[in-house]
Amino acid sequence: MKHIRGGVTAPSGFTASGIHCGVRRNKEKKDLALIVSELPCAAAACFTTNKVKGQPVVVSAAHLANGVAQAIICNSGNANTCTGEAGIAVAQRMAELVAERLPVKAEDVVVASTGVIGQLLDVTIIERGMDALVEGLSPTGSIAAREAIMTTDTIKKEVAVSLELADGTVVTMGAIAKGSGMIHPNMATMLAFITTDCAIAAPMLQAALSESTRRTFNRISVDGDTSTNDMVVALANGKAGNAPIVAEGPDSRAFQEALDEICVELARLIARDGEGATKLMECIVSGAVSEDEAVLLAKAVISSSLVKTALFGSDANWGRVLCALGYSPATVDPGKIALAFESGRGYLEVCKDGAPIAFSEEKAKRVLSDTEVTILVDLGLGKAQATAWGCDLSYEYVRINGDYRT
């Protein structure tokens, strides 16, 4: 497996486009994206577990029920959520607009929206931009598409890899994502779109995506809020020409490894780009009695507002980490916990057997001042471990969300 360029258009048979159509007021910001496959695809998705679901989520879940899709249309600037039956009609109309201009069935179009909640999306704005959107479809269109799905994002979230299957066939996988705030998923992230030219049965693709989601997107948090519009969608068009993956074996394992690589990279980018964030926080919990409990503990640490603010201040206030571990529902023996901080600027042990270790505050400040910091927790109870990703909490987060609608 190797990393390549190209995002969602790296795999054979995919084109993409992104334009400004007017959903967002700033004309310099793209706000409408389209991803299209030459052929109908095996499709899989994971959606938000929030009981309040965006109207595009409802429509897309119905369209993907048969495991087939061929295109994804996504707008930013308006989430089309809490908009009732009128919002459902808007999401359905967005799919129809694609079908009217391309040889794609409306029911094979995934619809996604992100932005302000509680405002009906004016679909005529989308309609006016459709001709330009379709005309812009290109094998190099991933950059424009990834820009069009961004809201408060500040960095690109794009990745692609190629891998060789057992028969020598090289297949490619690419992805784009958006996510910066309202990130505490239990399924996916804000939005992530994954494409591949690998031939794989829809049930196998769904199983692989669900597993990758469990290991990656379900282990990030920026602010503890689970979005109403979260979705991660994977499309596989089979253009690589490999023998279809229909059962467990070397090819399914290679595919899973590549998908995991894609999703880990996207999850880290989303956590790193948390609204107002200055640092990526990684928490690795080892020595747990089970992986599920390790996940609960790691997420408790990266979700703690007090841990996040200590990280922002480069303060080695490790008692806050133990506090977060202690209120998690997972098994913890305080007298066995070991804790250390690590970054590109050094490694620092601060706690062993639940008791403090003398350390240099100057070195602690240096280690924690890096842009990526890892919190290493050893529970001393078992052999299971898990990793979760988050970010610090800064003054800028409040400013961004205090005037989000304006």
Provide CB contacts within 8 A for 63, sequence distance 6+: 69, 95, 107, 108, 109, 110, 111
Active site residue 309: no
Measured CA to CA, the distance from residue 366 to residue 341 in angstroms comes to 11
CA distances from 159 to 25, 114, 143, 258, 377 (A): 29, 21, 11, 11, 30
245 CB contacts (<8 Å, ≥6 apart)?
A: 198, 199, 200, 201, 204, 251, 252, 255
Dihedral sign computed on CA atoms, order 195, 198, 202, 204: negative
Selecting among 189, 195, 196, 228, the annotated active-site residue is 189
* Tokens encoding 283: 């928490």
Q: Is the dihedral of CA 266, 233, 129, 91 positive or negative?
A: negative
User: Residue 226 to residues 76, 266, 321: CA-CA distances in angstroms?
Assistant: 18, 17, 22
How far, rounded to the nearest angstrom, does the alpha carbon of residue 156 sit from its chain's CA centroid? Answer: 12
Contact at 8 Å (CB) between 267 and 390?
A: no
Half-sphere exposure at residue 277, Cβ-oriented, CA atoms within 13 angstroms: 33
- CA 200 to CA 74: how far, in whole Å? 25
Phi, psi of 375 (to 5 degrees): -105, 120
Helices and strands counted in the chain (H then E): 11, 15
Within 10 angstroms of residue 89's Cβ, the number of other Cβ atoms is 15
Distance CA 133, CA 126 (A): 10
**How many Cα atoms occupy the beta-carbon half-sphere of 316 within 13 Å?**
26
Q: What is the DSSP letter of 219?
A: G
Active site residues per annotation? 189
